[in-house]
Amino acid sequence: MLSIKRLTKQFEVPGGSIRAVRDLDLTVEEGSFFVLLGPSGCGKSTLLRCVAGLEQPEEGEIRLGERLVYSARDNVSVDPEDREVAMVFQTYAVWPHMTVFENVAFPLTEAKKKRFPSAQVAAKVKEALVLVRLSGFERHSAATLSGGQQQRVALARALIREPKLLLMDEPLSNLDAKLREEMRDEIKELTRSLGVTTLHVTHDQIEAMALADLMAVMYDGKILEIGQPEALYRNPGNRSVAEFLGRTNWLSGVVAGNGTVTTEMGLVKCPLPNRAGPGSRASLGIRPEWVELTAEPCQSANSFAGTIEGRMFLGDAVLYWVRVGESRMMVKTTLTEFSIGSRVSVVVPAERWVVFSETA
């Protein structure tokens, strides 16, 4: 549905220029919820604005369906209002001097090329407010709404245009944690029920994995990897993706052969990359929640004696810091009985390690 090819966008700054998007390719299938995940400054919001027509790229092309909306080579740049896209901004962009009705109706009442009868506008606003659970708020001043309600107004205003592509630029980042979760669930349910193609930008890993059918991890204007959230989390293609998607314990070691690596913790059994021959160096990563703790001595493969050095209660889990030889590991578990100084066994299933060649 959305096709981006070799897109480049740069900004002029004193003393030179910054390339915010670098020769980027991306395809978003019709009806899917696609998330761009990356740190601040990686170019994800700039890419979204290029798709919306709010920024002019220097190179590349953008297609919505079969329609070419931007091409540097062919000198094509369709105006934002003619691209059949709608955008929800991080700051909501709700006009405080207008009522909820006036805010939601704005794309229809101010449309330059098509006028809608008042009765049709009223019907569409009512329908949009039902979708976002704001029925009865038509006459409320936007200035009196909570952050979550303003976000619903912004979403209703975007959906009233019946866009072919919905763009969402970190729409949940200004909400508190509980409301963020509620709105995240509502957005997922709503976009799925409507079947609207959605491109969503965020720096929040949990939000990205909860919402996405497919997600792309961006860094420095480029896409590092694309995949389903669970696949990327469990089997990232490189260390940068692994680190950005969540906490990871890392060990450095030398491949000993037969699926083992000699590390500062001892001999670790793990799946090895094809090119990791004996004597080559490797980085081994393991998520804290995949490490097991037990008070009993354990002699099985990938079990190591350790001592609890730190403890943090998280509500639904406890995060421990465990000293194992010269290494310090994070372990996330529901077990609460261990205290600082406790002797434990750390057990890591061999198949849970992610391993990368240090020369790659």
The strand order across the sheet containing 318-324 reads 292-294, 343-347, 303-313, 318-324, 327-333
Global confidence as pTM:
0.91
For residue 239, the 8-state DSSP code is: H
Checking if the pLDDT of 223 tops 90, the result is yes
CA distance 360 to 276: 10
DSSP states along 55-109:
S--SEEEEEETTEEEEETTTTEE--GGGS-EEEE-TTTT--TTSBHHHHHHHHHH
Q: What is the mean pLDDT of residues 90-99?
A: 90
Q: How confident is the model at residue 226 (pLDDT cuts 50, 70, 90)?
A: very high
* Residue 124 phi, psi dihedral angles, 5° rounding: -70, -40
Provide the H-helix boundaries in 173-250: 177-194, 205-211, 229-234, 239-245
- Cα dist from 11 to 19, 45, 221, 316, whole Å: 6, 14, 12, 45
Q: Where are the domains of the chain?
A: 2-243, 247-357
Tell me: pLDDT of 84 over 90: yes
Distance CA 79, CA 84 (A): 10
pLDDT single digits (tens) 20-64: 999 999 999 999 999 999 999 999 999 999 999 999 999 999 999
List, for residues 101-134, the tens digit of each pLDDT value: 999 999 998 876 677 889 999 999 999 999 999 9
Instruction: Report which secondary-structure segment, H or E, holds 8.
Output: strand 2-13
Using pLDDT thresholds of 50, 70 and 90, give the confidence band for residue 360: very low
The predicted-structure confidence for 160-211, as pLDDT tens digits, reads as follows 989 999 999 999 888 888 888 988 999 999 999 999 999 999 999 999 999 9
| C-alpha R_g of the chain | 25
The whole-number pLDDT of residue 294 equals: 94
CATH fold of 2-243: Rossmann fold (3.40.50)
What pLDDT digit, counting tens, does each position of 302-328 carry? 999 999 999 999 999 999 999 999 899
Burial state string for 148-162 with b = 16 or more CB within 10 A and e = fewer than 16:
bbbbbbbbbbbbbbe
Q: What is the pLDDT of residue 359?
A: 64
Question: Which residues lie below 8 Å from residue 341, measured CB to CB, with a gap of 6+?
Answer: 307, 308
CATH topology of domain 247-357: OB fold (Dihydrolipoamide Acetyltransferase, E2P) (2.40.50)
